[in-house]
Structure 1
Amino acid sequence: MPDKITIGGVSVDTRHWIGGQRVASAETFSDSSPIDGGTLGEIARGGPAEADAAVAAARDAFPAWAATPRAERARILHAIADGVEKRIEDLAIVETTDNGALLRSHRRGVMPRVAHNFRFFADWLLSLEHEDFDTRGHRNHVSWDPAGPCVLITPWNAPLMLATWKVAPALAAGNTVVLKPAEWSPLTASLLADIAAAAGLPAGVLNVVQGYGAEIGDALTSHPDVRRISFTGSVPTAKHIAASAAANLTPLSLELGGKSPLLVFADADLDLAVDLAVEQYDNAGQVCLAATRILVEDTIAEEFTRRFVDKATTLRQGDPRDEATDIGPNIHARQLEKIDGFVQRALEAGARAVTGGHRGDGQYYAPTLLTDVAQDSEIVQEEVFGPVLTLQTFTTEDEAVALANGTRFGLAATLATGDPERAERVTARLVAGTVWVNCFFVRDLQAPFGGSRLSGVGREGGTWSFDFYCDLKNTVTAPNGFTDHG
């Protein structure tokens, strides 16, 4: 099999990147495009041997990188950001072809955010400090020490942006990294390895390995030389990773699924509320933060639904490379089957499809809104991860909060109201890592990000990222405790 494939004129190496070199595997796996289902290429399929090699490379590179002054680490991260910005078009076309998200979004938002991830954590590193404090005359000094090799396992819905959300702070902290991208969208991680090497990142500091979770993933998460594991993905996989990590007490950061609510009160700006609701179809519904449960005060439910349908039916579904497209395909035929299974079971149980409720051509699923759903039903309780929303009504504020909190998840929540006092009351009662009031998907890298309940463990962002990727140390020095031997 060839070592490189060409996507939209962009050459992508299909081998692993380990210790500053391209490494092939005896076996491969097929990577296909969700746009038309066609095979893009055969990708190196790693296993325990490649996992051991990558962790060894990260372990060997760690002492020198950890000892690299902060300013030099920051300079290299900025150089990586420069490299990303020079290749935004390449990265955009490859990722759109590989995972089906909109090309216009990759060009204008996602890939610039990739560069920003590196710049932000490079700059935050230079300002990272805790003010010394006194204990009975003793000086306390807090420092952030690099932890060691980190395994970062990333999802397929926003491959490079979510990978660099982890890679950037891990490298800034002085750690070395083994990145394992999702097998359904591995290609831009390979390009990142090229960009990092060109920026001067030393060999072994960033390693990229590809393959299946049950093969190379298990070998990575159970490895005794790994000091941190960060994972974004499903709850069942997270439980498996946690069990693997437990033998070595490897610290974990887990950003998992969501079943987030959008609460719409009668005093809300209805046009804004409808816009927020329709926005949940972004990326074909493949967004962990999406407010897939629309909760509307009963007095405005009929008007809200009418306006929602009017707006949703104007969305254009099609080839994500077309600038006019609003909704692209779902990532894989297996995911499409999963989405349709949820919808058909809900319809059989008595739900009504106000819009959608069926497949389109290929790997496209019609944007769907289901009503007449029970709070304890599967479609309300389980993450679908597709363009499928449910609508329920409420009468009182207490009922709205109970419905919003009535799942096992707690990743995010969105609230539409014209009453600031209500906003304050309700947000205080919502179980969620992030709450948006009259807005959606406004994220700042200095804010803590993560979920409650089954939506995750831990928080990352700003100093919280360094708290996770470092061993925090407090040094206590006695007053006048040094003897002058001069």
Structure 2
Amino acid sequence: MEMLIGGKKCPAAGGEVLNAINPATGEVIGTFPSAGKEDVERCLTLARQGAERWGAMSMDARTAVLENVPRVFEAHRDELCALLCAEMGKPIRQCGEDLDVTVEIFKNLCEEARHLAGSSFMDLSAAGCMGDVQFTRYEPLGVVACIAPFNFPFDTLTQKVAAALVMGNSVVIKPPTDVTLSLIRYTELLIEAGVPGDVAQIVTGHGADVGDMVVRSEKVDAISFTGSTEVGIEICRNSALYLHRMIMELGGNDPFVIFGDADLDHAVQECWMRLRNCGQTCCASKRYIVHNSVKNAFAEKLVQWLTGFKTGDPADPATDVGTLINERAAKEVEEQIAHTVRQGAKLLCGGERKGAFLTPAVLVDVTPDMDVAKDMEIFGPVFPIIGFDTEEEALALANQTSYGLNAGCMSGDMIRALRVASKLQAGTVVLNGCSTWRGPEIPFGGYKMSGLGREGGRYSLLTMSQEKTVAIRYVR
């Protein structure tokens, strides 16, 4: 497959290509261009032209085009799901769920835009303002670089792309190298739906090369990135010269606090979200902070419950757990499990790796001083269980990390749960469930090193625009 620059399919100017590999089979399923400086510059120049025309259109005219996108995506549902499954090893059923969310985001943002009005102010008492009329309006930012993650490439990218397009910006998509073919096809379908070719473009290649050229450019006005905290920091540093607007959804080591009066069977059922996408979910619970009175019972129930899931061929509709994104990622998780065991934890089950496949693992005897209890984010199906005795101890454990994306809490005492929620350092706190929660319209983002800004519904639209105040003096 080829990049889309100015609405046309094109190879890299230098002719270089990279392979797309199926992590479940190891076979090459296609190739894509490895762009160079000439390609990136041409793309960004066209993006500025596109932003000027697209931004000058009325909101109604833009949403009329974008309302075609869900229909086009749904018409290509089977094709998109099969391609995503082959590229990233995600079970085919979950690929369909991701596409459903993608379609919902487009619909939600087009509807939300109809109700996005500015504010008006008049007859203010401030000296010199009596009789003046002031109002605000929302205007486009310009060119938005949308840097997608590999784990939920369709719906996470759509939070960026749909909001940017609705608000009159052009977008330059930089896909992850492991899921490039799917996002090339995604961009092709945007154009098929009627989005101009210089308004939605995609440049492909290694992030350290292509992504770096994009974020360093003065032709970019904003950068929306989902990925690791380390890469997010590097992007902020490399783009600082032009003070691009930054929207960052970064790493997390989300706690799931389970009190002694919680329904353990319900708590175990909530652990399903740690298996989704083979544990590669930013806001999945990654630390299980369980009251010592029920810690052993919870671990036993969890181990037994895990036997009911099928790990295998991602293309099989019966598969629950597929592969990690590649064998390198699976090896990293394998080593993180071994590292935690070396620090004194006990592996109750799982952790066996074959290629990019890894069986779900349960770790007990995890203590607060271990890396996994603090800042070592394991991006795979691993359940480290940490005991506590008091509410204060649970909060200290939950908050002893540089991350603050989501958190979960289960207790039979809702007053206590609400009190704990007010003290958890996280952008979203889920009560009566695990931390995995992201509705398409809620403000999603993290505290501390988990990101900058919020995405979702109205919040995405505001992030992808700039607010201007217009004052009319001497109105009598």
TM-score by length of 1: 0.94
String of CA shifts for 1:404-458, please: whole Å, max 9, x gaps.
Answer: 1111100000111121101110000000011111134443222111111111111
Alignment identity in percent? Answer: 32
* Kept after mapping to 1: 8 A contact 2:109/2:458: no
Q: Which amino acid aligns with 1:127?
A: H
Q: How many residues align?
A: 466
| Aligned counterpart, 2:358 | 365
Structure 1 counterpart of 2:41, from 48, 52, 56 = 52
- 1:368 deviates by 0.6
| Aligned counterpart, 2:116 | 128
The yes-or-no answer on 1:73 pairing with 2:68 is no
| Aligned counterpart, 1:378 | 371
* Kept after mapping to 2: 8 A contact 1:176/1:205: yes
| Aligned counterpart, 2:127 | none
- Separation in 2, partners of 1:339, 1:139: 59
- Separation in 2, partners of 1:394, 1:215: 45
- 1:351 deviates by 1.1
- 1:255 deviates by 0.4
Structure 1 counterpart of 2:18, from 29, 37, 41 = 29
Superposed counterparts of 1:276-295, under 5 Å: 276-295=270-289
| Aligned counterpart, 2:100 | 112
| Aligned counterpart, 2:176 | 182
Superposed counterparts of 1:124-273, under 5 Å: 124-134=112-122, 135=124, 136-273=130-267
The yes-or-no answer on 1:16 pairing with 2:3 is yes
- 1:140 deviates by 2.4
Unaligned runs of 5+ in 1: 1-13, 482-486
| Aligned counterpart, 2:88 | 99
- Separation in 1, partners of 2:364, 2:37: 47
- My pick for the range that moved more, 286-295 or 438-447, is 438-447
Unaligned runs of 5+ in 2: 125-129
- What secondary structure sits across from 2:38 in the alignment? helix
- What secondary structure sits across from 1:137 in the alignment? coil
| Aligned counterpart, 1:82 | 71
Structure 1 counterpart of 2:340, from 329, 333, 346 = 346
- Separation in 2, partners of 1:72, 1:81: 16
Structure 1 counterpart of 2:324, from 322, 325, 330 = 330
- Separation in 2, partners of 1:104, 1:308: 23
* Kept after mapping to 1: 8 A contact 2:328/2:356: no
Q: Which amino acid aligns with 1:454?
A: M
| Aligned counterpart, 1:39 | 28
* Kept after mapping to 2: 8 A contact 1:343/1:379: no
* Kept after mapping to 2: 8 A contact 1:344/1:357: no
Superposed counterparts of 1:429-440, under 5 Å: 429-440=423-434
Structure 2 counterpart of 1:395, from 384, 389, 406 = 389
* Kept after mapping to 1: 8 A contact 2:141/2:169: yes
String of CA shifts for 1:151-179, please: whole Å, max 9, x gaps.
Answer: 01111111111111110000001000000
TM-score by length of 2: 0.95
Q: Which amino acid aligns with 2:369?
A: D
The yes-or-no answer on 1:61 pairing with 2:50 is yes
Q: Which amino acid aligns with 1:291?
A: S
How large is the Cα RMSD of the aligned pairs? 1.3
- Separation in 1, partners of 2:448, 2:369: 17
Q: Which amino acid aligns with 1:395?
A: D
- What secondary structure sits across from 1:84 in the alignment? helix
Moved over 4 A (4+): none
- 1:267 deviates by 1.5
